[in-house]
Chain A
Amino acid sequence: MKRYVVLIAYEPEAWEQANEEERQEYFDAHHAFEAHVAEHGRRLASGALCDADVATTVGKGVGAERTVTDGPFAETAEQIGGYYDVELPDLDTAIAAARLLPSAYTVEIRPVMRIEGYEQA
């Protein structure tokens, strides 16, 4: 099994403007994704994120050099709206799962690295 984080990029307006029926389509698509993951592997965690207008960015540096600014680290029309942390057999299974997510999303699949010698505290 390989571990992947599936990042969801979307335009917040699309969700805000969606009517009830359209929102149900979003929910159905997420359920289809989750069922696919459950069938082939497992979901470790997931979350829907608040919009980037309430994000806070802490910059590079040491101590007070690390400036704190309002907003996300990259300003783009699409923003990260949520994630799934999953275990699946391979990339093709992850791609098949990602294709089940709502059609308005762009989805990035990132393999999770195993770092030698590092264990979570």
Chain B
Amino acid sequence: MSPDEALAAVVREEWGRLVALLLGRFRRLDLVEDALGDAVESAARRWPADGVPDSPAAWLHTAARRRVLDRLRAEAMAQRTEPLLVVDAERRGPGPAMADPGGLVEDDTLRLVLLCCHPALAPDVASALALRLVVGVSTADIARLFLVGEATMAARLTRGKKKIVAAGIPYGVPGSEDLPGRLRTVARTAYLAFTAGYAPGSGPDLLRADLAGEAVRLVRVTRALRPEATVLRALLALVLLHHSRRDARVGPAGELVLLADQDRARWHRDEVDEALALLDGLPPDPDPLTESYRLQAVVAAAHALAPTAADTDWALVCTAYDRLVRLDASPAARLAAAVALAERDGPDAGLAALEGLDDALPSSHRLPAVRGELLARRGDHVAAAEALTLAIARCGNEVERSHLTARRDSLRG
């Protein structure tokens, strides 16, 4: 491994743990991230000349710790005192000297995850903080994922850190009564980051789907700390299944490829298999959020198991959607259920299920797009073209719009 690769690997694997360890020791959210960033820069300069150290993580930890101590000394001279992170009593006192993988360190990583995903933080702020501090994604990349400028994202991260310290959000693990709820907030936060990678942006952008993979890593890291949390198991299955399709959902010209038209050979099989293993034997969950992730994963798994779109087990998909709509009668869930119903029972059943959705989705392009497609399938080309025209007018995404336009024009031809 070259020094660059070694550095990239240790940043990827150890960033969150190093942040957690330094925070436990110094309780200074403002200094720790910068110090670790400086340590990584310094490694990038020195490792090519000096060779990669035996323990890259310990090297970074030592370098970052020195930076923090330098800054603290400078502050002491200037007699400034910055507010400290609130650390629960059990964690106070001198931290472990090395970045070794012990129980205490893992507990620190969980504290860090829970700190970033605290319900008192705005969800978009929490998502960004978790990606930055736990999985070490750069501010520029987080900005790209959420489709905002880098300066805006930097300000959002700063605002989050300020709120954590000012409000006294603790660096600790809550009792067993509160932990499940907090892990659900972690799941929501990670899912928000994941879906940002697949949200329609300004033009096609494959990199954003790659960045969504960092959210998958956030779920993975947290699940490794609390493997018994079913909300994280169901969510990991769901995001893996969606993420496995990333290469197939964009065509050679950057155009969006719909699920039915995707080349299934390009789905990442290892991720699909991992997700199927996670779903295997996962029973319906009494918690609505967990159950909602599980049911969405069941739907995605039905697609993953079908060799071609025509082989999809639509009966299974419809059953899952029925339960999902009962759990969460959101317009988006009802729309997806109507699509599945049309596949199982034909376009008329689907069209009937769309009734009453117009008021709930007054500006959605998806509703008229689905209606247009179903009308076309029953041979009603004039009404279909009309619905697709409405969908085109409402659609903000260039790739999807050209897809809809091509479909409409094929009906008129």
Contacts and interface: CB of A to CB of B under 8 A. Distances in A.
Contacts of A109: 167
A8 interface: no
B179 to A, nearest CB: 11
Interface string B164-175: 001111101010
B120 A2 contact: no
Interface in B199-227: none
Nearest to A109: B167
Interface residues of B, number: 12
Contacts of A2: 86, 168
Contacts of B118: 91
Interface in B337-391: none
A4 B168 CA distance: 10
- Which applies to chain B's interface (DSSP): helix, strand, loop or mixed? loop
A113 B83 CA distance: 11
Interface in A1-38: 2, 4
A111 B86 contact: no
Interface-central residue, A91, A109, A111, by most chain B CB under 10 Å = A91
Nearest to B182: A92
Contacts of B120: 91, 95
Contacts of A51: none
Given A90-B168, A91-B118, 20 more contacts: A88-B168, A89-B86, A89-B168, A89-B170, A90-B169, A90-B170, A90-B172, A91-B86, A91-B167, A91-B169, A91-B170, A92-B169, A92-B170, A92-B172, A92-B174, A92-B178, A94-B168, A95-B120, A111-B166, A111-B167
27 contacts: A2-B86, A2-B168, A4-B168, A88-B168, A89-B86, A89-B88, A89-B168, A90-B86, A90-B168, A90-B169, A90-B172, A91-B86, A91-B118, A91-B120, A91-B167, A91-B168, A91-B169, A92-B169, A92-B170, A92-B172, A92-B174, A92-B178, A94-B168, A95-B120, A109-B167, A111-B166, A111-B168
A112 to B, nearest CB: 10
A114 to B, nearest CB: 8
Contacts of A94: 168
Interface in A65-121: 88-92, 94-95, 109, 111, 113
A4 B88 CA distance: 18
B125 to A, nearest CB: 15
- Which applies to chain A's interface (DSSP): helix, strand, loop or mixed? mixed
B183 to A, nearest CB: 15
Contacts of A89: 86, 88, 168, 170
Nearest to B85: A90
Interface in B173-202: 174, 178
Contacts of A4: 168
Interface string B78-107: 000000001010000000000000000000
A2 B169 CA distance: 10
A88 B168 CA distance: 10
Interface in B149-172: 166-170, 172
A103 B168 CA distance: 24
A52 B86 CA distance: 36
Contacts of B88: 89-90
Nearest to B177: A96
Contacts of A91: 86, 118, 120, 167-170
Nearest to A95: B120
A95 B178 CA distance: 11
Interface string B268-296: 00000000000000000000000000000
B159 to A, nearest CB: 15
Contacts of B174: 92
Instruction: List 10 tightest A-B contacts by C-beta distance, closest first.
Output: A90-B170, A2-B168, A90-B86, A91-B168, A90-B168, A91-B169, A91-B167, A92-B170, A111-B166, A111-B167
Contacts of A113: 166
Contacts of B172: 90, 92
Contacts of B169: 90-92
Contacts of B86: 2, 89-91
Contacts of A90: 86, 88, 168-170, 172
A4 B86 CA distance: 14
Contacts of B170: 89-92
